Chain A
């Protein structure tokens, strides 16, 4: 286990170095940082000044090294658009994105796994067939279309839920603001969370079902029935617990998808989160913000992956990494 973990950590560091290199290329060579910082009408002398101050006149490997050490100290430069530190801009968006993602995941997990169990226990019932057909529909509708259709029905036609923004938020501490503590905030959360959760829900449902279908035919489940255990105990304690290991692993490994789809969701609902910021920065060629986003997302995804993989190895006695 220790060797395995060390190997994963070394791999993680290699990937992060590769990501930082890509980020450096983006920052330095896609768009001209000198013009972006000095302004379009700067004189040649002013440009040289900027070049000197930021070390852009030095050889590339020196610049890369400086970029790397700066990034490790949390210094990703100043946003070209707002003239504020890029890291600060990103951090300030985290509460909105985190709350949306967590709500969506909680919704997707409870409903997805719950329905998956229901369907696998009684596969021939018409309700199960209807749910399975629905789940196929769920994976066939792209996230952006779900969002727009929900806005059309619940915001425009029925007028019962707000179509965009975060609504009223409550401040918690210095920098966290929450949607969970006001009715208006909760109302604003419903449609985006549902939109983002929908895809994961269908995937989780299908994973749970296929896992349960396999496990329910195994010998130890037959033994559990033969012992006369209650159906709830057999299904939830004996069967579901074993199914959950691969389900959680797959969900954890698809964390990048969650980030990508929250980008789409945030755009549709004008949710003031990270994804929305990234898309605006891409349109505006605001390289420092883009680079900060990519770096943080990379660290985040890799951490989640290593944790999920290690937990998987830890929880599953069949797997022993050397």
Chain B
């Protein structure tokens, strides 16, 4: 086991793209968690907002104010602070969906893969259908129809379709692991189903899920931004990268590029970091490519 771990670390340290991805993930996550300490201003404290400070360019531009490093928006909010708080929203939606949809999907996939039969047929056909309708489309329709805004309902809307990814991957993985000799052996020793599922199948079928988790987190964060951009996502009282870009769009002809470029770059860089890491993880865990190395 320890040799395998070393191998993992060794491969990781040799791959600059994987390191870059991991560093971006860590730095952005830390920035989001520590936002209240790092941000120069609480962007949603209405008391301190001054309309006179609105639409200031970044500090290094001619009309910039050193107090606002990346400039201010149309309400006089500090862009840097709003981005930090927006990242918090992105991450809390991202991790909540990943955990909720992930554990539900893994459970369904585990049962469907192990028991097969009607359960398997029904869940997989449901999964096909949900997948065909696209997570994005279902979330837009759900949120647009219910008109309730809140972080919780956004999480729910994304979960409705997102569990499918996990269920399918888990099922495929269980079908493979199920045939292994140690499962047959465990059965022969009279292990009951619960023991077999939780102790033998679950841990051994889990690795492909890790790859899905990284890709999925990136997808959820992009989706949350898209929903907020369209005006069906988190409420306007919550900071969100997507909403920052949507309101920046109104000032596109006024030349206020910083309203879009900074939150946009934050979003892309974070998602890119996740994708870089996921790419590495996929290759690392893929036995077919491993052998040819």
| Chain A residues near B (Cβ < 8 Å) | 11, 15, 26, 30, 136-137, 139-145, 148-149, 151-152, 156, 217, 253-257, 259-261, 263-264, 267-268, 278-279, 282-283, 285, 290, 294, 297-298, 301-302, 305
Contact = CB atoms under 8 A, between A and B. Distances in A.
B275 A257 contact: no
Contact of A11 (B125, B131, B145, B267): B125
A141 B131 contact: no
A188 B92 CA distance: 39
Contacts of B140: 260, 263, 279, 282
A141 B231 CA distance: 19
Contacts of A298: 133
A263 B137 contact: yes
Interface of B: 125, 128-129, 131-134, 136-137, 140-141, 144-147, 218, 222, 225-226, 229-232, 242, 245, 248-249, 252-253, 255, 257, 260, 264, 267-268, 271-272, 275-276, 279, 292
Given A148-B245, A254-B134, A260-B136, 7 more contacts: A136-B276, A144-B245, A148-B264, A279-B230, A283-B144, A290-B141, A290-B145
Contacts of A11: 125
Contacts of A257: 134, 136-137
A61 B184 CA distance: 51
Contacts, number: 103
A279 B292 CA distance: 49
Given A136-B279, A156-B252, A282-B232, A145 B245 contact: yes
7 contacts: A149-B264, A152-B252, A253-B131, A256-B134, A263-B140, A301-B132, A302-B132
Contact of B137 (A26, A260, A268): A260
Nearest to A298: B133
Contacts of A268: 249
Contacts of A259: 134, 137
B226 A143 contact: yes
Contacts of A15: 129
Contacts of A260: 134, 136-137, 140
Contacts of B253: 156
A305 B137 CA distance: 16
A148 B249 contact: yes
B267 A145 contact: yes
A140 B264 contact: no
Contacts of A254: 134
Contact of B226 (A26, A253, A264, A302): A264
Contact of B257 (A152, A267, A302): A152
Contact of A282 (B145, B242, B264, B271): B145
Contact of A152 (B129, B136, B225, B260): B260
